[in-house]
Structure formats: C-alpha cells, structure tokens
Structure 1
Amino acid sequence: MSMFTSTRWAARQTVRAIVEFKGLFLMALSLAGLALTIPFFLATLAWSLSAQVFNVPTQAEVTVFADRSAGEQSVKDLAEAISKNSVISAVRIMPKEDALALVNQSLGMKTEDERSKEKAKNNPLPDIIIATVANNVSSEELAAAAEQFRKIKNVDLVAYDDSWQRYLNALYTALSVVLGILGTVVFLLVLLVIFASVRLTTNAQRDEIRALHLFGATSSFIRRPYSWRGFLTLMLAAVLSLGVTATGVSLLAKPIADFAGLYGVTVILRMPALDWCLLYVGSAALLGYVVGSFAAKDAITRVLRHQP
C-alpha cells in the first residue's frame, strides 16, 4: 500500500471514528480543554503581572544612622567602610535634609510652612546610610554584618528587618510546590482522558482491528488513526483553552486595571503573543499524538492478545 493510500485511509478512519463516537470525542475534548485552561489562564495572569512583580525590590536593606555630630566627609567615609562588607551590594547616602523632607511628606506637612522651615533649621535627624544587602545572604551573615557596622566610628544606630524576606521566600517555595502539583495533576488528567478515549474506541472496534491484523496490517498502520485522533483532541483542546482564557482576560482586564490604578500601578492584562499561542497549540497537538499513539499501541496489543 502506497504512502498516499495509507494516509488517506488513516484520515478517513479518523473522521469516521470521530463521527461514530462523537459523544466520547466531545467529552474528551471538553475535559482536556478545561484541564488545559487552568494552567494556561494562571500562566497568562502571571505573565501579565510579571513586569510589576519583577520591579518590586526583594533585597533587604540595612539602615545606618550616623552621629549627628558627623560631618559630610565623615559620613562619606562611613558609607565607604560599609560598602566594603561582602554582604552589601550597594550603598546610598540620605542627607539629613532629605530625611526630614521625607518625614514631613509622610506626615502630610508642607515643606513651605513656616513651622517646617523652622524645624529644618533645627533638624534633629542625622545623615542616613542605606545599604542594600546582596542576594543569597543568610540571616546569620546579615546579623554579623550589622554588629560590625555598630562598631564603626560615627555610627549611632543600625536597624534592619529581614523577616519579610524570609516570609517572601517561604511564599515563593509554597507557590512553586502548589504550581508543580497543579501542573502534574493537569498533565495526568490529560493523559487519562486521551488513554480512556483511545481504550474505549479500540475496544469498540476490536473486530476491525483483528481483521486488519489478520490481513497483514502492521501495528503502526492500525494505530495511526488513533494517534491522529489524539493529535486532534489536544490541538482542539488547546484552542478551546485559548478561547476560554481570552474570555476571562477580557472580563478581568478592566477591573484589575482599575484596582491597580488605585495604588498608582499600571497593569495591562492581555493574552500572550500569537507566536507563543501557536507554540502552545503545536506542543499540545504533539503531546496528543504521542499519548494517542502509545495508548493505541497498548490497547491494540491487549485486543490482539485476547483473540478468540
């Protein structure tokens, strides 16, 4: 049999099986589509919010208050000494005038008020050195560095808080585990849907499979229609998940943008680029072909093993 003839036969058998078992095919398509929608929708949300999330600084900072008697050069020397510590990645100086302006702003006081100007002349705040901690620094290393800073000349007070960073790392770890479990469950669900669909149709067509085998058809020839049906099932399921996700994005885009605007943040909820969507559909179709082929091979082997 020529390649064209075998391909035409496989295509005809694929269409015939879909029409004959349309209820089973639609059920498999719906289940796989909904299963794929969950991770794809969450991935779309994460991708849309990634720019804002990645711009949020996650490094701890150490605030060093200089003695109020320390001059400008002494503060610069202090900042240089702090920057030489291995746990510090960057250092910046906040002059006492800027610190007072920041306090006034946080209290809602206008800097042009006469009282504010009077306070500026008698500024009680010291110069402040803000040291950014490098990545992958443990709490013990940070505590040791803070103790070293306290012993440096012209240092009045050292303050830091890295507990929020530990909480954030724990949250990231928990989210990674949850997403890993979710991805595994979805993957297994899709596999079970394709396996069940192929198994049921092969059992229904076992007489035809035995006849094909009797006339000398190879296993790869017999299972080709089932592989193609697996290909179509996951390809259409991926398209279905794209449609559901697009609907969800269109419904959530404005509420999320309005909510983020209340905090002065711009969030644009949108679908991934066309290239990524095509890659997603193609990958799902390829997975469906592989799973369908494997499931058909296993099911056909069982049918032939129990020949009367």
Structure 2
Amino acid sequence: MRRWLRQHRYALLVAVRRLVTQPFSSLANILVIGLSLAVPIIAASVLVSAQPIASEIPVSPELTLFLDPSTSNSDAVSLAETLRNKRSDAILDTRLITREQALQSLKANPSWSEALAVLPDNPLPDAIIVTLRDSPDLALHANELAQEWRNLPQVDSVQLDSDWVRRLEAILGFIKIGLGMLAIGVALVVLATVFNTVRMQALTQREEIGVARLVGATESFVRRPFLYLGALTGIVASVTAIGLAALALQPINTALARLASQYGAQFSLHLPDPLSLSMSVALVAILAALSARWSVTRNTRF
C-alpha cells in the first residue's frame, strides 16, 4: 500500500512540475478549456435561475373574460354565476374583478400609477377570471371553452392566462437541449486540448520514457504522470471557468436588475449549486484523464 501511494505521489509531483516548468503553454491550455467551460456554466445559470419561476407559476389554465364596457355590474355578476352553474363540472371557481378594483390594483404599482394619473377616466373593463378543474385534456378543454365564450354578447375578448407559462416551459426545454449539445461540444474541446498537450509532452520526453523502460519501468509507471497532468489541467481549468462565469454574471445581473426594476420585479442569475459544480469539475477531470491516457498510449509506442 505504501509503495502504491508513493508511486502516485511521485506521479502527481511530476505532473505539477511539468505544469510549472512550462507556464505559458499550461496557462494557454487552461484558458482555452476554461473559456470553453464558462459558456455552458453561464447557460446552466440561466436555466437554474429560470426554472423556479416556471415551477412556482400555476399552470392550471385560468380563462379571463374581458366584458364589453357597456355591461353593467349586475349583468357581470349574473354572467359569472351563470357560467359557474352551467359548467360546474369543468369550472372550479369564478371571480369577478370590477374595473374599479383593477384600476386600484394598477395604481398600487409605481410603474403604472403615474401613467394612469393623467387619464381622464377608467379605461379598464370588468373581467371574470375562471379557474378550471384538472382533467386529462385540460389544455384542449380550456381552448374549447374559450372559443365558446368568445361568442357571448357580453364578452369582448377571452384570454387563456396559462399560454405564456407553457411557452416558457417550452423555451426552457429548448435551452436544456441546447445546453446538452453545448456540453458535448465543450467535452470535445477538452478532449482535443488535453490530447494535444499530452502528445507534445510525450514527444518532448521521448528519450526519458525510453530510458525509463530500459531500466524496467512499467507502462503504468510511464503513463501515470501524464494522467495526473490531464486531470490537473481539467481541474484547474474548471475552477478557472467557474471564476470567469461568476465574474461574467455580475454585469449581467446589474443589467437584469435595471431591466426588472422597470417592471416592478426582481430577478438575478446565480451559479448552479456547489454539488453540481463539484460534480462538473470531477467529470471534466475524468474526461481529461481519459484523453491523456488515450494520447500517451498512442504517442509512446516506440
């Protein structure tokens, strides 16, 4: 056991020495891999920051019926009751929001209060919000009801409020696919960069490897420093990528905060959780070590 640990300690020290003795080459490789890895980390930050927003928004369809301005308050109340009683099997609840209530709600928002103050009268219509019951064909059923209620004489327009949530979920699904393809591309960059680095090291130390074999060094002993070299390059590049991504998110969050404040909201991007980042670092180190093994096997056959 001590011999095994001593051999690995020796291989690790050799790998560190090779990194330090060629600082320009090592730094260039680390920056190439680090910049490549920073892109999917930022994309993952967008994904993990947007997912909670989509998950917290109720996706149960709500239909909003905007009534004709000429509809009286009593007719609006009667229509809400009629809808609930007529389609009680499909409707969970109906809620009437009068134009006065809608105006007061908007005035409470600083983003709208100044604009509404200059209007001579209330431009908002009465609205009935209909919450539907869960069903296997919920989306299809909601579209059918919306089409039916658009033909009512008191109804000016019907809006399916959950449509934009479903679009957001579709966008997030598209980002996931794009992130997966991006990760594959970055993995190829890591493999190619480490492969070329180890290849150059093996060719540079061709005579040293030949002498080591003549004195009885095993193939494992010869390859082990190169494997550590690849793994160390991957680890340092991954940590560098996380730092670059964190720095890049600062100006992005500043711009997002300025944009979100215009809508009275708060939103910022944050890095994935430490466990995910640690697993990513370990995965990159494994890929780099495998690439190093492949390279040293191909380029030390002499």
| TM-score normalised over the length of structure 1 | 0.71
Give the match's secondary structure for 2:93: strand
| Counterpart for residue 221 of structure 2 | 221
The letter for the 2-side match of 1:12 is: L
Q: CA RMSD in A?
A: 4.1
**1:184 equivalent in alignment to 2:184:** yes
How much has 1:17 moved relative to structure 2? 1.8
Listed one character per residue, the Cα deviations across residues 182-233 of structure 1 (whole Å, up to 9, x for unaligned) are: 2222222122212221222122223333333344433332221112112211
Cα 1:82/1:208, change in 2 over 3 Å: farther
Kindly report which structure 2 residues correspond to 1:1-308, keeping only aligned pairs within 5 A, or say none: 2-56=3-57, 60-63=61-64, 75-76=80-81, 78-79=83-84, 81-85=86-90, 90-94=92-96, 98-102=97-101, 104-105=103-104, 108=116, 128-132=128-132, 137=137, 140-146=140-146, 157=155, 159-161=158-160, 168=168, 171-271=171-271, 275-276=274-275, 280-281=277-278, 283-288=280-285, 290-305=286-301, 307=302
Listed one character per residue, the Cα deviations across residues 41-68 of structure 1 (whole Å, up to 9, x for unaligned) are: 2323444455445445555433457997
Listed one character per residue, the Cα deviations across residues 133-152 of structure 1 (whole Å, up to 9, x for unaligned) are: 8598586544434466689x
Listed one character per residue, the Cα deviations across residues 1-46 of structure 1 (whole Å, up to 9, x for unaligned) are: 9224312321232123223433322211111111111121232344
Cα 1:282/1:140, change in 2 over 3 Å: closer
Cα 1:257/1:78, change in 2 over 3 Å: same
How much has 1:262 moved relative to structure 2? 1.9
Give the match's secondary structure for 1:39: helix
How much has 1:283 moved relative to structure 2? 3.6
* Kept in 2: contact 1:64–1:159 (CA 8 A): yes
Cα 1:136/1:242, change in 2 over 3 Å: farther
User: Aligned pairs, how many?
Assistant: 283
Distance 1:171 1:4 in 2: 50
* Kept in 1: contact 2:187–2:287 (CA 8 A): no
| TM-score normalised over the length of structure 2 | 0.72
Distance 2:135 2:188 in 1: 37
Listed one character per residue, the Cα deviations across residues 237-262 of structure 1 (whole Å, up to 9, x for unaligned) are: 12212222232233344333232112
How much has 1:297 moved relative to structure 2? 3.1
Cα 1:227/1:82, change in 2 over 3 Å: farther
How much has 1:165 moved relative to structure 2? 6.3
* Kept in 2: contact 1:234–1:287 (CA 8 A): yes
Distance 1:135 1:190 in 2: 48
* Kept in 2: contact 1:198–1:226 (CA 8 A): yes
The letter for the 1-side match of 2:187 is: F
Distance 2:76 2:243 in 1: 65
Distance 1:59 1:39 in 2: 32
